[in-house]
Amino acid sequence: MWNYSEKVQEHFFNPRNSGVLDDANGVGEVGSISCGDALKLFLKIDPANDTITEARFQTFGCGSAIASSSALTEIIIGKTIDQALSVTNQDIADYLDGLPPEKMHCSVMGAEALRAAIANYRGEVWTDDDHEEGALICKCFGVDAGMIERAVRVNKLNSIEQITNYTKAGGACKTCHEKIEEVLGQVLTAMAAEGAIDTIPAPSCPVAPSAPVHKPMTNLQKIQLITTAIEELRPTLQRDGGDIELVDIDGDTVMVNLRGSCVGCQMSSITLSGVQERLMMVLGKPVRVIPAQAA
Amino acid sequence: MRPVYLDNNATTRVDPQVVAAMLPFFTEHFGNASSMHAFGAAVGGALKTARQQVQSLLGAEFDHEIIFTSGGTESDNTALLSALETQAGRDEIITTSVEHPAILSLCDHLEKSRGVKIHRIGVDSRGCLDIEAYRKALSSRTAIASVMWANNETGTVFPVETLAELAHEAGALFHTDAVQAVGKIPMTLAKTEIDMLSLSGHKLHAPKGIGALYVRRGVRLRPFVRGGHQERGRRAGTENIPAVVGLGKAAELAALSMNDEQTRVKALRDRLEAGILASVGNCMVTGDVDNRLPNTSNIAFECIEGEAILLLLNKEGIAASSGSACTSGSLEPSHVLRAMNIPYTAAHGAIRFSFSRENTEQDVEQVLAAVPGIIANLRAMSPFWQGDGQASADFNPTYA
């Protein structure tokens, strides 16, 4: 059972403004029946002052999708379209006292439908229907780079897992994970340059090892990879007054000595497991890292 | 709100008679069955009785063919891993694309970590196994074939007795995950060629955390859990006596209610299904309708989503389950519905109602009173709903 807030439940059981708006002059459709959720948003906008006077929705989807649609209509009625365009998916989630992380894509669907409906009112072409420029990243759920970028910017996302929660991209066949990572890297770099974030965060979701799992590796190659990886780790440890030294390699066991302030440090076992993780990533197979004294 | 529990394929209520049978084994007969004193002896007798009760339900030839485990998942893991070790020179496994994760996740893992070749046999749109593909996959490399007796989502029953014979012709072992079938379908394992069978207590009114693995006499077994000599050295660890006693009692009760399950419970299921089909348009029963568990009905409603249906049913006190994406936290419909090529539109709105002997006619009436309104409500909100009889034209049953 999902841990839905009272507000989500209330908006699901008593949705506001559901149904068709016959004299709508801005209609936005996002999602599809094959993807498992879809939202059609109808807006009636007063051309005199560009104010949204009425909003209705039709939604195919789960409880939080319907609640997000309901919340969206309540948020935007009475706003000018410029004001409405500043509404983000986070505003929808906040209005509902939060959504479970795996359900954030429901709020993103609302924000996307809003943009689509306003674009329709303005006579613009909404990019959701037009992926011709090769911008389509996730084919399973039809998510393009623009949608991923908006979700990353608004919600300060930094992992593929989060992007999947917010946009569904990469949630099925997973073959687009590399492309998502590329987009994520570009957006984060841009955001850091703009000063929107301090530094580019390290990915919180481990990425698949780049080395193919079954590729046979000679002992020499293995030793070289391990040596290089350890060398690359040294500056990080040295910054904290510590150091690491490769002592021996026996099969899949790598023996190391921790030096400097690492000696006796209570965090040394965590350091070792970090080293182990790094080596497994480089080698693409399991290895064990142990202190040389224990061997 | 009067609660109606129709999710018995997920788990069942522990029968009060089962609880009563278990209670003395917490505070009174608390001994260790292995101990050389009276406390242990009392428990040893109960262990033997429980084993015979399970033997009887399965129609097994010997009581020592029953090994108590922690549940269906452990039994499944034991069977497959043992076969890989005992079947010299054989390193392939045959299974189906609609098995429980207890089998499929293990197979994925064995494939990745040990390079074991896994053949996942597909099903048709009714969920029936592609027997020809199964036959072709069997070879001198096959260590074991593992096919569920009945599918948990649709209730579709597989011809395991025939499949076991085919496996033996190729010299392979045959295992069946019978977690959903035991207690609902009469079985006489002694007359079949099935080598191993997994069952789970909590699906038949026994507690969670107890199950059994049937291993035909003469079939070699490598223990999965190693340690003491319990279960004749085939499953180490001090026996969970209260739960074992509970499973034994539940097996006895299941045997007694088998007829009820096949007649009255089946009639309740059929009535619910007919009632829904008559009052709600654009829905379909999934699975092999003429050949499924008597207690299971899986109905896919077009143009609406399963989680929303479940939340509204829950508000009416009705507990069911769904193979839709949103209920599981995954983004795709269940692997079973995908394997069956159920159109996306309907797959997202698939609801499983699963009965037990504890359900009544009043339960069915309550569900029939609630369902049409819930479906109409959600469809009125769905951008894809065009009115009864029209939506199907929009369906695009092309599954990736």
Q: Do B382 and A59 touch (CB under 8 A)?
A: yes
Q: B313 versus A234: which is more confidently predicted?
A: B313
**Residue A128 pLDDT:** 55
- Within chain B, what is the greatest distance between any pair of CA atoms? 74
CA-angle at B142, arms to B139 and B146, nearest 5° = 120
Interface residue B308 vs chain A (CB under 8 A): yes
Interface residue A12 vs chain B (CB under 8 A): yes
Check whether residue A236 and residue A287 sit in a common domain: yes
Check whether residue A288 and residue A236 sit in a common domain: yes
d(Cα B130, Cα B164) in Å, to the nearest integer?
15
Check whether residue A15 and residue A101 sit in a common domain: yes
Beta strands in A116-228 (DSSP E): 136-138, 143-144
Which helix (H) or strand (E) is A177 found in, with range?
helix A177-194
| Partner residue opposite B348 with nearest CB, options A19, A36, A103 | A36
What is the average per-residue pLDDT within A69-85?
Answer: 97
Interface residue A140 vs chain B (CB under 8 A): yes
**Residue A213 pLDDT:** 44
What is the average per-residue pLDDT within B329-340?
Answer: 84
Q: What is the pLDDT of residues A109-123, one digit of tens each?
A: 999 999 999 999 999
d(Cα B360, Cα B155) in Å, to the nearest integer?
20
**Residue A202 pLDDT:** 59
d(Cα B296, Cα B54) in Å, to the nearest integer?
23
Q: A128 versus B102: which is more confidently predicted?
A: B102
DSSP structure string for B158-224: P-HHHHHHHHHHTT-EEEEE-TTTBTTB---GGGS---EEEEEGGGTTS-TT-EEEEE-TT-----S
The reply to whether A278 falls in a domain is: yes
Chain B: closest CA distance from residue A232 (Å): 28
- Among B282, B331, B375, B399, the residue to mutate for chain A (most A Cβ within 10 A): B331
**Residue A233 pLDDT:** 82
Chain A: closest CA distance from residue B382 (Å): 5
d(Cα B13, Cα B26) in Å, to the nearest integer?
20
Check whether residue A14 and residue A107 sit in a common domain: yes
d(Cα A92, Cα B394) in Å, to the nearest integer?
31
Residue identified by tokens 């389509």 is A136
Q: Do B345 and A12 touch (CB under 8 A)?
A: no
Check whether residue A101 and residue A165 sit in a common domain: no
Determine which of A112-121, A127-136, A260-269, B331-340 has the lowest per-residue pLDDT on average.
A127-136
Q: Determine the distance from the C-alpha atom of residue A154 to the mean position of all C-alpha atoms in its chain, rounded to a whole number.
A: 11
Which string of b and e fits A223-246 if b means at least 16 CB within 10 Å?
eebbeebbeebeeebeeeebbbeb
Highest mean pLDDT: which range of A149-158, A239-248, A276-285, B248-257: B248-257
The reply to whether A243 falls in a domain is: yes
Q: Which residues in B lie closer than 8 A to residue A14 (C-beta atoms)?
A: none
Q: What is the pLDDT of residues A89-101, one digit of tens each?
A: 999 999 999 999 9
Which helix (H) or strand (E) is B370 found in, with range?
helix B361-381
Check whether residue A93 and residue A69 sit in a common domain: yes
**Residue B197 pLDDT:** 98
Interface residue B191 vs chain A (CB under 8 A): no
Check whether residue A103 and residue A13 sit in a common domain: yes
Which helix (H) or strand (E) is B321 found in, with range?
strand B321-322
Q: Which two tokens stand for residue B304?
A: 């609406």
What is the average per-residue pLDDT within A244-272?
Answer: 78
What is the average per-residue pLDDT within B29-44?
Answer: 91
Q: Do B381 and A65 touch (CB under 8 A)?
A: no
pLDDT at A181 over 70: yes
- CA distance to A239, A279, A286, B76, B310, per residue, from A244 (Å): 12, 14, 20, 44, 55
**Residue A205 pLDDT:** 47
DSSP structure string for B245-296: HHHHHHHHHHHHHHHHIIIIIHHHHHHHHHHHHHHSSSEEE-S-TTSB-TTE
Q: What is the CATH number of the domain that holds A242?
A: 3.30.300.130
**Residue A227 pLDDT:** 87
The response to whether A205 counts as a known ligand-binding position is no
Quick one: A10 exposed, middle or buried, by C-beta within 10 A (0-12, 13-18, 19+)?
middle
The reply to whether A126 falls in a domain is: no
Closest residue in B to A286 (Cα) is B113
Interface residue A172 vs chain B (CB under 8 A): yes
Check whether residue A66 and residue A30 sit in a common domain: yes
Residue identified by tokens 């949204």 is A52
* Active-site residue flag, A265: no
Q: B246 versus A214: which is more confidently predicted?
A: B246
pLDDT at B250 over 60: yes
User: Above pLDDT 70, what percent of chain A?
Assistant: 87
Phi, psi of A209 (to 5 degrees): -60, 140
**Residue A134 pLDDT:** 56
Residue identified by tokens 């428990």 is B43
pLDDT-derived band of residue A207, with 50, 70 and 90 as boundaries? Answer: very low
Determine which of A216-225, B38-47, B205-214, B218-227 has the lowest per-residue pLDDT on average.
A216-225
**Residue A267 pLDDT:** 64
SS3 A124: coil
The answer to whether B173 touches B201, Cβ cutoff 8 Å, is no
Nearest to A85 by CA among A98, A76, A73: A76
Residue at a domain's end among A88, A121, A154: A121
Rounded-to-10 torsion of CA B370, B373, B375, B376? 170
**Residue A266 pLDDT:** 58
SS3 A149: helix
pLDDT at B155 over 80: yes
State the number of CA atoms in the 13 A half-sphere of B299 facing the CB: 23
pLDDT at A210 over 60: no
**Residue B12 pLDDT:** 98
What is the average per-residue pLDDT within B236-243?
Answer: 97
Number of independent structural domains in chain A: 3
pLDDT at A241 over 60: yes
pLDDT-derived band of residue A269, with 50, 70 and 90 as boundaries? Answer: low
Check whether residue A116 and residue A140 sit in a common domain: no
pLDDT at B116 over 60: yes
pLDDT at B227 over 70: yes
pLDDT-derived band of residue B86, with 50, 70 and 90 as boundaries? Answer: very high
State the number of CA atoms in the 13 A half-sphere of A184 facing the CB: 26
What is the average per-residue pLDDT within B162-173?
Answer: 98
**Residue B399 pLDDT:** 29
Full-model pTM: 0.81
**Residue A273 pLDDT:** 75
Residues within 8 A of A (CB atoms), B 40-99 only: none
Beta strands in chain A (DSSP E): 26-32, 37-46, 51-60, 136-138, 143-144, 242-250, 253-260, 288-291
SS3 A156: coil
Determine which of A134-148, B57-71, B104-118, B158-172 has the lowest per-residue pLDDT on average.
A134-148
**Residue B396 pLDDT:** 38
Active-site position among A106, A205, A262, A265? A106
pLDDT-derived band of residue B298, with 50, 70 and 90 as boundaries? Answer: very high
Check whether residue A117 and residue A12 sit in a common domain: yes
Residue identified by tokens 């350890």 is A230
The reply to whether A128 falls in a domain is: no
d(Cα B279, Cα B272) in Å, to the nearest integer?
11
Q: What is the CATH number of the domain that holds A174?
A: 1.10.10.1100
Closest residue in B to A4 (Cα) is B311
Q: B130 versus A3: which is more confidently predicted?
A: B130
Determine which of A73-87, A130-144, B136-150, B213-227 has the lowest per-residue pLDDT on average.
A130-144
Instruction: Show Cβ contacts of residue B129 under 8 Å, excluding neighbours closer than 6 positions.
Output: B96, B121, B122, B123, B147, B158, B159, B163
The reply to whether A203 falls in a domain is: no
Q: Do B331 and A168 touch (CB under 8 A)?
A: yes
The response to whether A262 counts as a known ligand-binding position is no
Q: Do B326 and A15 touch (CB under 8 A)?
A: no
In this structure, how many other beta carbons lie within 10 angstroms of the beta carbon of residue B38? 9
Interface residue A70 vs chain B (CB under 8 A): no
- Domains, chain B, in order of start with CATH, read 4-11+258-391 (3.90.1150.10), 16-256 (3.40.640.10)
SS3 B156: strand
d(Cα A137, Cα A152) in Å, to the nearest integer?
14
**Residue B327 pLDDT:** 61
Interface residue A39 vs chain B (CB under 8 A): yes
Q: Do B325 and A36 touch (CB under 8 A)?
A: yes
The response to whether A140 counts as a known ligand-binding position is yes
d(Cα B398, Cα A145) in Å, to the nearest integer?
26
Q: What is the pLDDT of residues A124-174, one digit of tens each?
A: 877 655 555 557 888 888 888 888 999 999 999 989 999 999 999 988 888
> Helix B361-381 and helix B266-279: axis angle, to 10°?
30
**Residue B329 pLDDT:** 63
Q: Which two tokens stand for residue B33?
A: 């069955």
Q: What is the pLDDT of residues B127-149, one digit of tens each?
A: 999 999 999 999 999 999 999 99
What is the average per-residue pLDDT within A248-255?
Answer: 85
SS3 B305: coil
| Partner residue opposite A36 with nearest CB, options B115, B326, B329 | B326
What is the average per-residue pLDDT within B292-313?
Answer: 96
State the number of CA atoms in the 13 A half-sphere of B241 facing the CB: 24
- CA distance to A161, A206, A218, A281, B384, per residue, from A210 (Å): 18, 11, 17, 7, 42
Check whether residue A108 and residue A143 sit in a common domain: no
**Torsional sign, CA A86, A90, A94, A96:** positive
Nearest to B259 by CA among B271, B247, B267, B248: B267
The reply to whether A214 falls in a domain is: no
Phi, psi of B59 (to 5 degrees): 65, 35
d(Cα A254, Cα A250) in Å, to the nearest integer?
6
What is the average per-residue pLDDT within B160-180?
Answer: 98
Instruction: Show Cβ contacts of residue B237 under 8 Å, excluding neighbours closer than 6 positions.
Output: B225, B227, B228, B230
Q: What is the CATH number of the domain that holds A63?
A: 3.90.1010.10
**Residue A208 pLDDT:** 46
Where in the sequence is the domain holding A141, given as residue range(s)? 136-194
Q: Do B324 and A213 touch (CB under 8 A)?
A: no
d(Cα A273, Cα A294) in Å, to the nearest integer?
15
The reply to whether A131 falls in a domain is: no
Q: Do B380 and A18 touch (CB under 8 A)?
A: yes
pLDDT-derived band of residue B71, with 50, 70 and 90 as boundaries? Answer: very high
Q: Which residues in A lie closer than 8 A to residue B311 (C-beta atoms)?
A: 9, 12-13, 63
pLDDT at B48 over 50: yes
Check whether residue A51 and residue A20 sit in a common domain: yes
Interface residue B34 vs chain A (CB under 8 A): no
pLDDT-derived band of residue A265, with 50, 70 and 90 as boundaries? Answer: low
The reply to whether A210 falls in a domain is: no
The amino acid occupying position A271 is T
Q: Pairing state of beta strands A136-138 and A143-144?
A: antiparallel
